[in-house]
Chain A
Amino acid sequence: MISIILLAGFGIINLFTGFLKSNRIMLPLVLFFLAIVFGVNLFSWNDPQSYFNNMMTIDNYAVAFTGIMVLSTLLILPFSQRYVADQDENLAEYYSLLLFALMAGIMMVSFENMIMLFLGIEIMSISMYVLAGSDKKRPRSNEASLKYFLMGSFFTGFLLFGIVLIYGATGSFDITTIAGTAVGADGIDNTMFVAGLLLTIIGISFKISAAPFHFWAPDVYEGTPTLFTAFMSTVVKIAGVAAFYKLLNAGFASSYSTWFPTLIAITVLTLVVGNIGAAVQGNIKRMLAYSSISHAGYLLMSVIAFNERSEQSIFFYSLAYSVATIAAFGILKLVTVQREDESFASFNGLGQTNPLLALVMTVSMCSLAGIPLTAGFFGKFFIFTSVLEDNSLIWLVVVAVLLAAVGIYYYFKVVIAMYMQPTGNYERVRVTSLASFVLIFMTVLTILLGLAPALVSDLI
């Protein structure tokens, strides 16, 4: 709870630093704020508290996902040095919007009431609509913002309509009360309840860019300034998946058989679209956009498994995925800003010009592809484990395994470009020491979790 208040407060304070017009002051300040929030958040561990007449509960689940989201933001921001977007004119506003979005993320993982869920999703979405368009002079960025906003509002309507229908059927916004009622229970309007549930699922599926509600994602990811794309594909997505699982687990566990067929169709479709889509891209940013769709699919597998291993596997996967994705986007930003090209060719010969960047990128790609020695392997491992606990879902793992092999194909296209293509006339990419430090930290974390996953997997 304190972290939500702190983030809101820091977000407002931060707006005033905008008068200083200097990223050299703003960036350390924001990092400092985030470090405080990260620390404060940990104090709630093993100390579940309910707030606002049970509108929110900060339990271990909330603390764990808040931790990942704050850590992700901490790792993303150092790449804002030198260039964010719009020549740094409105930097303070961007930082504040990120803090607000983060606050909304915490609301999404700690809600106990559908209203809070909706508020969280909306605050986050509105922040992201603005950030998507923050590179005001670039038409692609404007297009991204508009597309995201129009589509996002449309699907917010679905979500809201769903929540209202569920309220109509059960008479409550409180998910514990909703959980007490189920399809077929006495006094429940079945049609209304099921329709509400499905509309809610569609609304959230859009937010985590699950197929077939993913069409906005590649264009928006591509148009958005890379720094915010990283935020979008990690914090926003993880908040969405965590909220999704919490919603189904706490509110709709007894309606399992109702939402299961829908969700499994969404999952399989997301895996297929994400992986096949990524394999045919020529632009690395678009490839990463599709890859983030595919990772939403893997995360949804765990939601579908719906057993006591799900929380652990979603948590571990989210962490592994965030760290690797942020490293990938961070390097992408450094490389593309200097080389002014987002195709795979922009990474040509990076292994010679920037061995460190190439190594970090390789580890990240291996982690995203799920190759051992990296955290991503254990992420996939825990996901498959939670799915296979129920024997009837073997076919889903087989599908995921086949698509994971496709994943290796597109992730290693980057590795091949870095190590096996000639440099051409590219020069060394300049990296600030803070960014190097963060990149090394992420690589070490990825490998550490790949060797000793129990360090964090046993937490939750």
Chain B
Amino acid sequence: MMTALLLFWPALAALLVLLVQGQGAKRVAFIAALVEFAIALFAAATFTIAKTDPQFELSVPWIARAGISFSIGMDGISLLLVLLTTFLVPLIILSSFKHDYKKPNAFYALILFMQTGLIGVFVAQDAFLFYFFWEVALIPVYFIAAIWGGARRVAVTFKFFVYTIFGSFFMLAAFIYLYFQTAGTGIAAHSSDINAFYQLALDSSTQSWIFWFLFLAFAIKMPVFPLHTWQPDTYTEAPTQATMLLSGIMLKMGIYGVLRWLLPVVPNGASQWLDVVLVLSIIGIIYASIIAIRQHDLKRLIAYSSIAHVGLISAGIFSLTEQGLQGGVIQMLSHGINVVGLFFIIDIIFSRTKTREIMSLGGITQTTPALSICFMILLLGSIALPLTNGFIGEFLLLSGVFQYSYSFGAIAGVTIILGSVYMLRMFQGVMFGTRSPETEAFADLTFNEKAVLFPLVVMVFWIGLFPGTFLDISEPAVFNLLNIIQRR
């Protein structure tokens, strides 16, 4: 029941928000999102860490005759991602308080509606339900980006939309194929339950093509090189809230899909292509980092840094080691927190100076101690300095890649150096140096902005100093996944 509540509350709240006229919608949406976070915290408090099976399960027949059920539940990995989602959405809504978007009720209703889709993806225990929520999460963010975005929004978001749907149709085809290989129970001849998928015994050539069908969908979402071309433009053109949703939460859908629906379902197919995926991921890391160094636009810079980070997560996960998987999970949380914080800071800078060009900024530190400190902490988290959240994730991921292959590990490790180059170069250009006309009267953080950034900063340290809190939650689930992968 807990999961169902988590799933349906945002959708219900979205309908409520639609009825609110004027700018009051943002407050209603914020309160609804806080309630959702409270429910998630309560779920976390009553969660039994030692159990590997999904908890708070609910399963009702959906298309009974076909063996498709509306079945949801959470294991450790799901719980962490649900916590991440419910933690970030209220902050994302709060971060928009200074903007007066036109038609605010539709804007905030779409955000909440998207939350239902995101949570659905993380808790679905049925392949078709997973696919269903996968698309449900996409539609609202498309409209948010395409209606409230920047000048080139229409073409750019359209590319993003068609690109991702294109990938997910392949996932659907693969799911239907897998579904016919399963054995059902009762009146249904087949079943799309996740456990039925986990028990499939397919020959290796079938697994090989199924792998690519599924990987295409997930890789476009993450995105993995060379399927990343939609991402920088979409992040740049979308309104900041949509960018946060996309980078903070939505790209985790792709990684989660790999963990839950790719590796355990076609482990043999995955092992045939590990080298290829790792090489692609590592190319992505280096390529995106180098491009990030050359960027002048802050939003584009962070967008490319995001591709680099995701490349490392994907490399770590595909090392198929415990450290790699655990690192992937913890880095999903860290990346979500850091990237949302950084995009928010860029939004703050943009709203005061009307520019995102590094060249025309500078000297902001002189008047803004609070902003500078928050920015620095999030940035250090992003470049994986010890004691911050990024360090834990990247360390585990790299140790996973090293176990797979020393040479791959060594090349992937360059990410830390390149990451500090582009991040510190950005910080230097924006915050230090002499003031420009644009940054002449730069005000420090307002109360609302602090309310967004402080929780994020706290989380940077919490994960950095006490990663055990989170690693312990995901550990049984990760072990369980590894068992399934190795057993078959």
Contacts and interface: CB of A to CB of B under 8 A. Distances in A.
A317 to B, nearest CB: 15
Contact of B131 (A372, A408, A453): A372
Interface string A433-460: 0000000000000000000111001100
B346 interface: no
Interface in A344-396: 366, 371-373, 377, 381, 384-385, 388-389, 391, 394
Contact of B135 (A372, A453, A454, A458): A372
Interface of B: 61-66, 128, 131-132, 135-136, 139, 143, 146-147, 153-154, 158, 161-162, 165-166, 169-170, 172-173, 176-177, 179-180
B177 A453 contact: no
Task: Please give me the 7 A-B residue pairs with the lowest Cβ-Cβ distance, nearest first.
Answer: A372-B135, A405-B166, A401-B169, A454-B63, A388-B176, A372-B132, A420-B154
B165 A420 contact: no
* Interface SS of A by simple majority: helix
Which one of B63, B153, B162 has the highest number of Cβ atoms from chain A below 10 Å of its Cβ? B63
Contact of B65 (A389, A397, A419, A458): A458
B180 A388 contact: yes
Nearest to A421: B154
A406 to B, nearest CB: 9
A404 interface: yes
Contacts of B128: 381
A409 interface: yes
B68 to A, nearest CB: 9
A412 interface: yes
A419 B177 contact: no
Contacts of A401: 169-170, 172-173
Contacts of A397: 173, 176
Contacts of B154: 416, 420
Given A371-B135, A372-B136, A453-B63, A388 B173 contact: yes
Contacts of B61: 454
B341 to A, nearest CB: 30
Contact of A408 (B136, B165, B176): B165
A389 B181 CA distance: 9
Contacts of B146: 416, 419-420
Contacts of B179: 385
Interface residues of A, number: 29
Given A398-B173, A405-B169, A457 B158 contact: no
Given A401-B169, A420-B147, A408 B139 contact: no
B173 A384 contact: yes
Contacts of B139: 366, 371, 373
A454 B63 CA distance: 5
A212 B13 CA distance: 50
Given A412-B161, A419-B146, A454 B65 contact: yes
Nearest to B133: A372
Nearest to B176: A388
A405 B146 CA distance: 18
Contacts of B63: 453-454, 457-458
Q: Which of B153, B154, B172, B180 has the most CB of A within 10 A?
A: B172
Nearest to A398: B173
Contacts of B173: 384, 388, 394, 397-398, 401
A18 B139 CA distance: 48
B216 to A, nearest CB: 11
Contact of B172 (A384, A402, A416, A452): A384
B64 A404 contact: no
Nearest to B102: A352
Contacts of B176: 381, 384-385, 388, 397
A319 to B, nearest CB: 15
Given A384-B176, A453-B63, 11 more contacts: A366-B139, A373-B136, A381-B176, A385-B66, A388-B173, A388-B176, A408-B165, A419-B146, A420-B147, A452-B62, A454-B61
A397 B213 CA distance: 12
Contact of A389 (B153, B166, B180): B180
A404 B162 contact: no
Contacts of A453: 63
26 contacts: A366-B139, A371-B139, A373-B132, A373-B139, A377-B132, A384-B173, A394-B177, A397-B173, A398-B173, A401-B173, A402-B166, A402-B169, A405-B162, A405-B165, A405-B169, A409-B158, A412-B162, A416-B158, A419-B147, A420-B147, A452-B62, A454-B61, A454-B64, A454-B65, A457-B63, A458-B64
